[in-house]
Chain A
Amino acid sequence: DTEVTQTPKHLVMGMTNKKSLKCEQHMGHRAMYWYKQKAKKPPELMFVYSYEKLSINESVPSRFSPECPNSSLLNLHLHALQPEDSALYLCASSHIDLGNEQFFGPGTRLTVL
């Protein structure tokens, strides 16, 4: 199984809502990532988890809160988002760290109203 799954595929939320994005992989990878991708732009790294511990936070606002409950799961909790946070949120995983092939999920298309 070389697939990274993400749910939901689409999400529309208001600025006062709380929602969560979910990501799952069963490849035995010990590094997992959240990226944000705006239209016609490259993916931008947000967070890196290595062995279930947060190792990189790219100065992401606190309204985005990542969580790694176990080695297969990665969540991104969203609260009090702004319309400019609307984007495609991609999850990825890799064997150990950023110096290895990353397997990306299809993403969650988030719209903040």
Chain B
Amino acid sequence: GENVEQHPSTLSVQEGDSAVIKCTYSDSASNYFPWYKQELGKGPQLIIDIRSNVGEKKDQRIAVTLNKTAKHFSLHITETQPEDSAVYFCAAGARMRFGAGTRLTVKP
């Protein structure tokens, strides 16, 4: 079945540093790879996504890279700010299975 692994489970960085979260997936038919941010008491919110015909996508401080051969994609956040602190989920597969999540803490 579909499997999505996400690492690390927790990540703590100093404000201004970069953060990288990686996901691997098993469904080779996957063609859509979103990243969601979930803050306490809220539903997940899409922050960036990428499709399989693109290798990299950027949106200001956030970027996603995709390696279809290796079946992994990564979220890159530069110049982190305290408001980036949240749980981040990747997702992949025909049934959009979510990774286990990464709790990011940005220390001022």
Q: Do A and B interact? A: yes
**A21 at the A/B interface (Cβ < 8 Å)?**
no
Q: Sorted from nearest, which 5 A-B pairs have the closest CB atoms?
A: A104-B43, A42-B98, A99-B32, A98-B96, A101-B46
Q: Which of B32, B34, B43, B95 has the most CB of A within 10 A?
A: B43
Smallest beta-carbon distance B72→chain A, Å? 17
Beyond A42-B100, A45-B96, A98-B96, whether A104 also contacts B32 by CB under 8 A is no
B95-A43 in contact (CB<8A):
no
Known A43-B98, A90-B44, A92-B43; further 19 A-B contacts with Cβ < 8 A: A4-B43, A41-B101, A42-B98, A42-B99, A42-B101, A43-B44, A43-B89, A44-B98, A45-B95, A56-B95, A58-B95, A90-B43, A99-B31, A100-B32, A102-B34, A102-B46, A102-B96, A104-B45, A106-B43
Q: Which residues of A are at the interface with B, using a C-beta cutoff of 8 A?
A: 4, 40-45, 56, 58, 90, 92, 98-107
